[in-house]
Amino acid sequence: MKRNEFFSAVGISAGMLFMAPVLSSCSKGLTDATTNPGGGGNPGGGAGAVDFTLDLTSPTYSALNSNGGSIVKDNIIVARTSAGVYVALTSICSHQQFNPIAFDSVASRFHCPNHGSNFGLDGSVINGPATSALTKYNTQLTGTNLRIFA
């Protein structure tokens, strides 16, 4: 092997070692955003569908006992509207995956403080820069247990 061939091979190998982590981290973000825009079917990122129950007598979820209250659990924001209706959406903004979005009880909407996107109670985009709706989940209240499911 000639000297210039050797240095060329070493340079390419060193460049690949340096770029591998950079390219790997970029591809993770692109994969999540492409296959799971706006939080998708399973915002927690693991396998399986969303299905969990909140015990509303627990201090952890006490905000949901009042109209206008909200909590975030497993990348899902659960809110109680001014009319007393429970709404559950992914808490990850569909624009740049900022987490968590917040519930604005006065305006009855969800707001991303990162770039100002607003979403309706059904997850639809009210104003951007977001262009994709948030995933909405079903809610079912049985006694003091609130079930959130896909």
Give the pLDDT of residue 38: 36
DSSP assignment letter at 85: -
Torsion of the alpha carbons at 43, 41, 71 and 132, rounded to the nearest 10: 90
- 111-143 pLDDT, tens digit per residue, is 888 888 999 999 999 988 888 999 999 999 999
Task: Give the mean model confidence (pLDDT) for residues 101-109.
Answer: 90
- 20-35 pLDDT, tens digit per residue, is 443 333 333 322 222 2
**pTM score, two decimals?**
0.66
Q: Which CATH number fits domain 39-149: 3.30.70.260, 3.40.109.10, 3.30.565.10, 2.102.10.10?
A: 2.102.10.10
Give the pLDDT of residue 70: 94
Give the pLDDT of residue 97: 76
Give the pLDDT of residue 128: 83
Amino acid letter, residue 145: N
